[in-house]
Amino acid sequence: MRVIGLDTSTATGGVALLEGDRLVGEYTLNLQRTTHAERLMPALERVMLDAGWDPAGGVDGIAVALGPGSFTGLRIGVVTAKALSYAWGVPVAGVPTLEAMAYQAGDAGAVICPAIDARHEHVFCAAYRLEGDNPVPLVGAQLRALQEWLDEVENLATGHERIIFIGDGADVHWETVLQRFGPRAQRPPVGLRTLRSGAVAALGALRLRQGRRDDPASLVPLYLRESEAERKWAAKHRSPS
């Protein structure tokens, strides 16, 4: 089974080609200089060409990181996945970004805490334990103030259990995390701290094998946050209770 993995959740993003259990190709850029709109499709074309995958031949499935992350970035990835799925007539699987990060962290004996920087001392975060390779959520994806989140992690990780942090949300606040947890807090080595699209492809392929395909028409990003206009409107029209 040939599966394409797409990730445009954060400044890091790219595409991966997975054939069965073999990662055939991956193209990742971590840049602020260009946008996903400019680089996603050229990257897909490049990596397919290099791998000898003929675009006219299609693939067997599409996996896409659903978020959370940058709203605009997520839309580019999700819409691209929808349209590829439609044009090739193949299934699509949306993969929660934080779950893919936990999968990539790959540490079975720890609590895994992926986090994406949401600015203003907030993070998009979740917590998982692995069963086999599979991330099982302890806390689902949410948007939290950093300190609240660290409190929650402290409650989750009982005793002397190690806590694996992954993602730019942990990197940005690493000093704070270390102060709180000391040597129990660990993170993957440089080069594995931000999401690789290979992990998205692998989790997506797993979902597709389990028959957990998404409807490409109704698939939407995992925003985890209303638009500012909706927040303001809700605040103004809140019923007194």
The distance between the two most distant Cα atoms of the chain, rounded to a whole number of Å, is 62
Closest to 99 in 3D by CA, of 211, 213, 207: 207
CB of 1 to another protein, least distance (A): 18
Binding status of residue 136 toward another protein by CB under 8 A: no
Using the rule CB under 8 A, give the single segment among 18-26, 84-92, 143-151, 158-166 that binds another protein: 84-92
Binding status of residue 32 toward another protein by CB under 8 A: no
Binding status of residue 29 toward another protein by CB under 8 A: no
On the 0-12 / 13-18 / 19+ scale of CB atoms within 10 A, 181 is: middle
DSSP state of 85: H
Strand duo 22-30 + 61-67: pairing: unpaired
Other beta carbons less than 10 A from residue 151's beta carbon? 13
- Give whichever of 181 and 223 is closer to another protein, judged by the CB atom: 223
Binding status of residue 44 toward another protein by CB under 8 A: yes
DSSP-derived 3-state class of residue 111: strand
* Interface of this chain with another protein, residues 46 to 75, rule: CB under 8 A: 55-56, 58, 71-72, 75
Binding status of residue 217 toward another protein by CB under 8 A: yes
Other beta carbons less than 10 A from residue 213's beta carbon? 18
Using the rule CB under 8 A, give the single segment among 17-25, 173-181, 205-213, 227-235 that binds another protein: 227-235
Binding status of residue 221 toward another protein by CB under 8 A: yes
CB of 68 to another protein, least distance (A): 14
- Give whichever of 62 and 115 is closer to another protein, judged by the CB atom: 62
Point out which residues pair with 17 in neighbouring strands.
4, 25
Q: Say how many Å lie between the first and final Cα of the chain, rounded.
A: 54
Point out which residues pair with 115 in neighbouring strands.
125
Binding status of residue 223 toward another protein by CB under 8 A: yes
Binding status of residue 149 toward another protein by CB under 8 A: no
Strand order in the sheet with 2-7: 22-30, 12-19, 2-7, 61-67, 92-96
CB of 211 to another protein, least distance (A): 21
Binding status of residue 41 toward another protein by CB under 8 A: yes
Binding site for another protein (CB under 8 A): 35, 37-42, 44-45, 55-56, 58, 71-72, 75-76, 78-84, 86-88, 216-218, 220-221, 223, 227-230, 233
